[in-house]
Amino acid sequence: MAPKWRELADKLAERIRSGEYAPGQQLPYIRDLVEAGEGSKSTVHAAYRALEAEGLVTSSRGHGTVVREQAPLKRLGIARYDKAKWRDGDEVAFIADRVASGRAYKRGEQTQTISRVPAPPIVAQAHGLPEGAEVYARARLVKEGDQPTHTLTSYYRPEHVEGTRLVDPTPGPAGRGGGFRVLYDAGYEIDHMREELFARVPKPDEVEQLKLLPGEWVVELHRTTYTADGTVVEFAVGVHAATRFAWSYDFKVPDSAAEAPK
Amino acid sequence: MAPKWRELADKLAERIRSGEYAPGQQLPYIRDLVEAGEGSKSTVHAAYRALEAEGLVTSSRGHGTVVREQAPLKRLGIARYDKAKWRDGDEVAFIADRVASGRAYKRGEQTQTISRVPAPPIVAQAHGLPEGAEVYARARLVKEGDQPTHTLTSYYRPEHVEGTRLVDPTPGPAGRGGGFRVLYDAGYEIDHMREELFARVPKPDEVEQLKLLPGEWVVELHRTTYTADGTVVEFAVGVHAATRFAWSYDFKVPDSAAEAPK
DNA sequence: TAGTGGTCTAGACCACTTC
DNA sequence: AAGTGGTCTAGACCACTAA
C-alpha cells in the first residue's frame, strides 16, 4: 500500500497528464483538499512537493500551485559543431543550437570568466597532464532570456592558447566564431570529438546558479576535442538542467572485422 | 535562509562526500539527532529523505540509515554494437556491454515478451507508418543479478520479422547473436543508427519495475537503426536508472562545406 | 520486546501576494 | 487584512528487524 501522499500525488499527476488540468491552470488549494478529506495539511503538502519535484507543477506563496508549461526540449545534435558555421560564418556552437531550435538569439545571454588554475583530476587525465599542472579554464553560464540553461567550462593547455584572444581576461564571449575558431587560427584545427553524458543530482551551488527546481536533476557532459593527429585541444565540462535538453547522435555501426590490419 | 531540513541534509551530505561517513557506515539514528537538538523527528526525517532522494544513503526500517556504496557507472559506447560480435560471434549487445565492463554474465538475467500491438505515436513516426499500424514489440527487462538495470523495447515492422525466431512467442532471449543477427539472416544488414537521450522522472510502474529509489530519475533512450539504403528496421526505447549508466559517443566534427554538391 | 525508519495529524507560525 | 504555500513541532501509530 503506497502512502497517502503518494496516492494523492499520483492521482493529480494522472489528471495533469490526461489534460484534465491544463498547463497554466490552478490546482486546488492545499487547504481545500484538507477540507475535502484528502488528509492533513502536511500530507497534502507532501503530495504537492512530490509533484513539484517531478516538474509537473510550480508552487508559489501567495499565488497557489499551477500546472507547469512544459518547455520543449532543446535537441542537441552533432551538427551544432559544423565547421562551416564557426570557420566560415560568425556563429558559435551555442548560438547554432538556438538557431537550429528556432529560438531568437539575444546578446548578453552568456557570461564568461577566464582563469588559470591547477587542473582538476579529470581535466588532467583528459589532457594527459600531471595532476595539478596549470591550465586555462574558460567558464560560461549560458542563459535564454532570464533563465539559465547550462554551464560550460572549457579547459585548454597554456601552450595552445597563450596570447590568443581566448585568454583575454576582458569579460565577454570569445568573439567571432567562438573558441574553435581561435584554435583554428592558432593552427589547431579540430577533427573529432568524444562526448560522455550521465545524469546526477545537482550540487547546492548548481541549484542556485541554474535556478533549478527542487528535486530537479542535471546532466553532466564531458566533451573532449582532438585535432587530426590525436592531440587534445579542449576538454569541456557542461552541466545542463536535465529537463530542458535532449541529445542526439548519429553513427555508423562499427565493424572491427572490416578494419584494415595494422 | 534555507530550511532547517535542507541545512541538515547539506551538512550530512558534505560529511559523506568528504569521507567522514564512509560507504556502508551507519548515519546517526533519527531519534538521536532529535535528542541532539537538530529538530523534531519530522524535520530530521525530511533531511534523511532528501539524502535518500539524492542517492547518498539508503534507509530501511529496523536497520537504520547507511551510506550507499556508489556502484560504478556502466559506460555504454558505440562499440557495443560491433558487427563482429553479433554477426561472427555469439554475443548480443547487452552481453557485450557487460563483457566490456568486466562483469560476469549469468543466464536468466533477461526476460522477454513478444506482442503484436498498434504502433504508439513515436514508433509510428520512426518507422514512417500511420499511427495505429500493427508492429511487433519485443520488450526486455535486463537485470544484473537481482538488480534490474534497464528496460528495452524494440519495435519491428511485421514484414521484416514475420516468420523469424524473433517473433517466436516462446519466452527467452532472441538466441545466438540477438536481434541484429536475426535481421541480418533475413536480409536486413544494419548500417547506421541514431540514438537520442533525455532524462525524466520515472512513471510509477517504472519505479516498481526497475526498483528505483525514491526521487531517482531515469534516462530514456531512443534508438533508430537503419540499413544502408535508409530503411528503418528497428526502433527501440530504453529506460535506464539514471545513476547507473553513462553514455559515450565518438564522432568526426562535421563540415557541411566539404560535402559533395548534390 | 525493544529499537529502527515511515506516515499522519493538529496546530502554530512564517513568507509572500493581493486587495 | 485575508489568503496562499512552506516549515516546524509534538506526539500517536504503523511496518519491519533483531534478539
Domain extents in chain A: 4-67, 73-248
Fold of the domain spanning B4-67: Arc Repressor Mutant, subunit A (1.10.10)
Nearest residue (CA) to C1' of C9: A40
Predicted confidence at residue A201, as pLDDT, reads 84
Euclidean distance between CA atoms B164 and B181, whole angstroms: 11
Indicate the pLDDT class of residue A178, thresholds 50, 70 and 90: confident
Predicted confidence at residue B28, as pLDDT, reads 94
C-alpha cell at A95: 548560438
Q: How many interface pairs between A and B have CB atoms less than 8 angstroms apart? A: 138
3-state secondary structure of B194: strand
Give pLDDT tens digits for A82-104.
998 888 766 655 555 554 444 44
Say whether A196 and B247 touch across the interface (CB within 8 A): yes
Beta-bridge mates of residue A185: none
C-alpha cell at B214: 525514491
Number of other residues whose CB lies within 10 A of the CB of residue A190? 22
A177 DSSP assignment: T
Determine the angle formed by the axes of helices B41-53 and B4-17, rounding to 10 degrees.
Answer: 50
pTM of the model: 0.84
Maximal C-alpha separation, chain A: 76
A203 DSSP assignment: P
Residues 6+ apart with CB under 8 A from B237: B122, B123, B152, B153, B155, B220, B221, B222, B223
- Mean pLDDT of all residues in B70-99: 74
Give pLDDT tens digits for A36-80.
999 999 999 999 998 888 888 999 888 999 998 877 778 899 999
Residues 6+ apart with CB under 8 A from A196: A221, A222, B75, B246, B247, B248, B249
Nearest to B217 among A73, A197, A199 (CB): A199
| B215 close contact with A: CB closer than 8 A | yes
Beta-bridge mates of residue B195: A249, B223
Cite the beta strand spans of A12-165 per DSSP E.
57-60, 64-67, 74-76, 110-118, 134-144, 147-156
| A11 close contact with B: CB closer than 8 A | no
Euclidean distance between CA atoms A67 and A217, whole angstroms: 19
3-state secondary structure of B238: strand
Å separating the CA of residue A174 from the C1' of nucleotide D18: 63
Contact B48, B65 (CB under 8 A): yes
Percent of chain A with pLDDT over 90: 51
Determine the angle formed by the axes of helices A93-100 and A178-185, rounding to 10 degrees.
Answer: 140
C-alpha cell at A171: 569579460
Kindly tell me if the per-residue pLDDT of A15 is higher than 70.
yes
Same topology between domain A4-67 and domain A73-248: no
Give pLDDT tens digits for A128-144.
999 889 999 999 888 87
Predicted confidence at residue B102, as pLDDT, reads 46
Question: Smallest Cα–Cα separation from B134: which of B156, B113, B117?
Answer: B117
| A53 close contact with B: CB closer than 8 A | yes
Task: Work out if A36's Cβ lies within 7 angstroms of strand C.
Answer: no
Burial of B121 (0-12, 13-18, 19+ CB in 10 A): exposed
CATH code for residues A73-248: 3.40.1410.10
